[in-house]
Amino acid sequence: MKNKLVCHLIANYPDFDQSLKIAEALASGGAESIEVQFPFSDPSADGPYILKACDEALKAGFTVDKGFSLVESIIKKTKLDVYIMSYANILLTMGIEKFVKKSKASGVKGLIIPDLTLNNDDGLLNSGRKYGISIIPVLTLTTPLKRVDEILFREPEYIYAVLRKGITGKSTIITEENITFLKYLSGKKAKILGGFGINSRDQVKALTPHLYASVAGTVFVKKIDEGGEDILPDLKTMVKELTTDEL
Amino acid sequence: MKYKEYFGEFGGRYVAEVLRPSLDALEKEFLNIMDDEDFWTEYERLSEDFTGRPTPFLFAENATKKIGGAAIYIKLEGLANTGAHKINNALGQVLLAKRMGKKRIIAETGAGQHGVATAAACAKLGLPCTIYMGEVDIKRQRPNLFLMELYSAEVVPVSFGSRTLKDAVNAALMDWAGSFEDTHYLIGSALGPSPYPGMVKTFQSVIGKEVESKIYELNIDVEAMIACVGGGSNAIGFFSPFLEKDSPRLIGVEAGGTGIGEGEHASRMTGQGQKGIIQGYKSLFLANKDGQVLPTHSISAGLDYPGIGPELAHYGETGRIEYTSATDSEAVEALKFFAKNEGILFALESAHAGAKAIQLAADMPKDKAVIINMSGRGDKDIFITAKLLTPDKWINFMRNEVSEYEK
Ligand SMILES: Cc1ncc(COP(=O)(O)O)c(C=O)c1O
């Protein structure tokens, strides 16, 4: 048996070609789908490793245009579903509707934009509906249930559940609180993605019954940070190890 | 609603869900204290005894004569305890945090003025505080770092991004996302997600109210009020009683830096500011065509920030507030001018307002008045100004200090 894992990577980190190879390595290890983060100069919901990687991706010349070509190449090479994760300003600057339209044209499945939330999204949800792109809300353990219900009322196809308080990159412990929260969510229609601080097979295994898929990112960024071509087979192995039920 | 969430299309609360509950709670408590007499009685008592309010309102007679135009008045906000207007907001928010039962304060700082004000207010009111400060700023602001630590604040270096003020805001937001249950984030300017812009304005509006009563008392015919604009807290507080009136002219002065090229200034309203959503609010920002924030420059660290408070951006678009900019060297000239002629030492930030006032007053009739908000005093800047104005003497002094120490 295999546990589903969405693998998160940062566009243009460490550079364009390598980030494409990283996506292929993650795919060959058995990633369920790929989440590509478009780096932003002032992210407010990333842990320190992702932050540093985004800084470097920007220094290495990331542009939104490059981001879309990367996404297109990833889709072409891996045939996997791809989601874009980024921040409000990247969308607003291009024009929110235009960004959504471009995502659709590039074959993107959905968008995860943590700082554009229900009733504060400048039309993102509507554009998503118009062009057939999933707008994936990001919920946390501390989101009041009333708000959760409000968000679910819009019938998102997916929801992203952050399984940790805060964003400082420490490991997430799967607590009773997490499971209760996930149970509440799983009573609803949306497919649940869960992540933040996922780095072990045991976590993925524990979460699998409650989720559509787990999401892991920082764990790969740490590996990529070590550098070199030979990280690619390592990444593949990591995905394998995270997703297999029995070793 | 007694405060606004949006100002035209600017403002709002563009934060990840993780921060929403804490902003909701803050908004609720803020609305509660707005008409809570006990709160304001305590705030006013501390403003008098601790901050030193009301701050003086000076007729700059020598400067006026020398320039030969409109009468120049200066609101000496920099004479407040800790040397700048920042204390008005710090005090208000620490009191609010205590009422909310918070056990810890976090804040960002650029130059260190807001950090110093926060650390002092926390020392006075007995809450521990952590101040985030970019590594670049730590290097150039050692004196303020020393003061914060003396007030027993913990200063945490921020090592990502451009390692300046905006990154310190990001670091504080990240801390808060995990700590909001017992921690209050004390933002230092009239920006960020609602309710911050409205709340900071409320605490800074004391500046404008004192000015307004002086205008009546002295019966002066004010043509223009002039303030420097970083994030915009001193300006919005100073302008607050007049925003809904047609007069006087309200003039915001941004950092013109060393030129109009990318990274040479921090002029959002007079430069190439574009619409953006950054750090939780929609406003005008200096960013590239992809929306990535651009580097900024100003001789004054307090104006060296890529965004502007949403209400100030809005009044810029409606035309109620006029924007202009002063360069680094114009600010330094104004600093010298007021020091020499008035015995008043402007902070470099405030000297930007002083510089524009000198130019404007010259073209105005004598029976009119202009009022400058001196948001801070310039003692904090001597490591910049002394090095600039008397380099040899200053470097000699520093050498001496070091060799004395090494003996
Ligand atoms: C003396 C002084 N004036 C002005 C500013 C700029 O901030 P604001 O525009 O919020 O008043 C600062 C910020 O550090 C300051 O220290």
Tell the residue nearest (CA) to atom 1 of ligand 1. Answer: B376
Position A170 scores a pLDDT of: 55
Distance between CA atoms of A130 and A124, rounded to whole angstroms?
Answer: 10
Q: Is the CB of B51 under 6 A from ligand 1?
A: no
Q: Is the CB of B228 under 6 A from ligand 1?
A: yes
Q: Is B12 on the interface with A (CB under 8 A)?
A: yes
Cβ within 8 Å, pair B18-A48: no
Position B31 scores a pLDDT of: 95
Q: Whose CA is closest to B176, among A54, A195, A45? A: A45
Residues of chain B positioned with their CB less than 8 A from the CB of A55? 160-161
Residue-wise pLDDT for A182-200, tens only, equals 888 887 889 999 887 788 8
Rounded mean pLDDT of chain B?
Answer: 96
Residue-wise pLDDT for B69-108, tens only, equals 999 999 999 999 999 999 999 999 999 999 999 999 999 9
Which pair of structure tokens corresponds to residue B279? 């750090």
Residue-wise pLDDT for B281-325, tens only, equals 999 999 999 999 999 999 998 999 999 999 999 999 999 999 999
Pick the residue of A37, A38, A44, A102 with the most B CBs within 10 A to test the interface with B by mutation. Answer: A44
Position A167 scores a pLDDT of: 59
* C-alpha angle A84-B262-B309 in degrees, rounded to nearest 5: 70
Confidence category of residue A165, pLDDT binned at 50, 70, 90: low
Is the pLDDT at A1 greater than 70? The verdict is no
Residues of chain B positioned with their CB less than 8 A from the CB of A144? 21
Distance between CA atoms of B272 and B288, rounded to whole angstroms?
Answer: 10
Burial class (CB in 10 A: 0-12, 13-18, 19+), B171: buried
Cβ within 8 Å, pair A89-B276: yes
**Shortest alpha-carbon distance between residue A183 and chain B (Å):** 19
Burial class (CB in 10 A: 0-12, 13-18, 19+), A146: exposed
Q: Whose CA is closest to B300, among B395, B383, B357? A: B383
- What amino acid is encoded at B368 in this protein? K
Cβ within 8 Å, pair B15-A117: yes
Q: Is the CB of B234 under 6 A from ligand 1?
A: yes
Is the pLDDT at A169 greater than 60? The verdict is no
Confidence category of residue A172, pLDDT binned at 50, 70, 90: low
Is the pLDDT at A225 greater than 80? The verdict is yes
Position B316 scores a pLDDT of: 98
Q: Which of A125-129, B20-24, B159-163 has the lowest mean pLDDT?
A: B159-163
Q: Whose CA is closest to A194, among A211, A171, A172, A217? A: A211
Position B272 scores a pLDDT of: 86
Q: Is B400 on the interface with A (CB under 8 A)?
A: no
Three-state secondary-structure class, residue A184? helix
How far, in Å, from the CA of B171 to the mean position of ligand 1?
Answer: 20
Q: Is the CB of B189 under 6 A from ligand 1?
A: yes
Q: Catalytic residue numbers of B?
A: 86, 108, 375
A65 is catalytic: no
Cβ within 8 Å, pair B291-A51: no
pLDDT average, residue stretch B342-363: 98
pLDDT average, residue stretch A209-228: 89
A115 is catalytic: no
Distance between CA atoms of A183 and B153, rounded to whole angstroms?
Answer: 42
Confidence category of residue A7, pLDDT binned at 50, 70, 90: very high
What are the C-alpha distances in Å from B55 to residues A217, B61, B157, B189? 53, 18, 33, 20
Which pair of structure tokens corresponds to residue A103? 């995502």
Q: Is B174 on the interface with A (CB under 8 A)?
A: yes
Three-state secondary-structure class, residue B97? helix
Is the pLDDT at B177 greater than 90? The verdict is no
Position A182 scores a pLDDT of: 85
Which pair of structure tokens corresponds to residue B1? 């609603």
Three-state secondary-structure class, residue B128? coil
Confidence category of residue A202, pLDDT binned at 50, 70, 90: confident
Confidence category of residue A166, pLDDT binned at 50, 70, 90: low
Q: Whose CA is closest to B293, among B301, A158, B302, B304? A: B304
Confidence category of residue A245, pLDDT binned at 50, 70, 90: confident
Distance between CA atoms of B99 and B83, rounded to whole angstroms?
Answer: 26
* C-alpha angle B20-B130-B46 in degrees, rounded to nearest 5: 90
Around Cβ A46, how many Cβ atoms within 10 Å?
A: 25
ipTM for the assembly: 0.94
User: Is the four-CA dihedral A194, A199, A205, A206 of positive or negative sign?
Assistant: negative
Around Cβ B167, how many Cβ atoms within 10 Å?
A: 27
Position B309 scores a pLDDT of: 98
What are the C-alpha distances in Å from A160 to residues A182, A192, B124? 11, 6, 43
Cβ(B278)–Cβ(B285) below 8 Å: yes
The residues, any chain, with a CB within 8 Å of residue B258's CB and separated by 6 or more, are B264, B265, B297, B327, B328
Q: At B6, phi and psi to the nearest 5?
A: -120, 145
In percent, the amount of chain A with pLDDT more than 90 equals 69
pLDDT average, residue stretch B170-174: 90
- The partner residue sitting opposite B14, judged by closest CB among A93, A120, A147, is A120
Distance between CA atoms of B43 and B145, rounded to whole angstroms?
Answer: 26
Distance between CA atoms of A51 and A58, rounded to whole angstroms?
Answer: 11
Percentages (nearest 5) of helix, strand, coil residues in chain B: 50, 20, 30
Is the pLDDT at B1 greater than 70? The verdict is no
How far, in Å, from the CA of B190 to the mean position of ligand 1?
Answer: 10
For residue A41, the 8-state DSSP code is S
Position A183 scores a pLDDT of: 85
Distance between CA atoms of B191 and B198, rounded to whole angstroms?
Answer: 8
Tell the residue nearest (CA) to atom 14 of ligand 1. Answer: B302
**Hey, what domains does chain A have and what are their CATH numbers?**
5-136+202-237 (3.20.20.70)
**Hey, what domains does chain B have and what are their CATH numbers?**
6-49+86-196 (3.40.50.1100), 52-83+198-387 (3.40.50.1100)
Confidence category of residue A177, pLDDT binned at 50, 70, 90: confident
- What amino acid is encoded at B19 in this protein? L
Cβ within 8 Å, pair A93-B161: no
Confidence category of residue B25, pLDDT binned at 50, 70, 90: very high
Sheet (strand A138-140) strand order: A134-135, A110-112, A81-85, A33-37, A5-10, A213-216, A191-195, A158-162, A138-140
Most confident of A36-40, A199-203, B18-22, B378-382: A36-40
What are the C-alpha distances in Å from B163 to residues A52, A62, A85, B159? 12, 20, 24, 5
Position A46 scores a pLDDT of: 85
Stronger pLDDT, B41 or A169, i.e. the higher one: B41
What are the C-alpha distances in Å from A105 to residues A40, A64, A85, A100? 22, 14, 17, 9
- The partner residue sitting opposite B290, judged by closest CB among A51, A90, A166, is A90
Distance between CA atoms of B405 and B395, rounded to whole angstroms?
Answer: 15
pLDDT average, residue stretch B222-238: 98
Instruction: Give the start-end residues of each E strand in B139-280.
Output: 154-158, 183-185, 222-228, 249-257, 274-278
Which pair of structure tokens corresponds to residue A111? 């968008």
* C-alpha angle B304-B325-B14 in degrees, rounded to nearest 5: 50
pLDDT average, residue stretch B1-21: 90
Q: Whose CA is closest to A152, among A162, A160, A142? A: A160
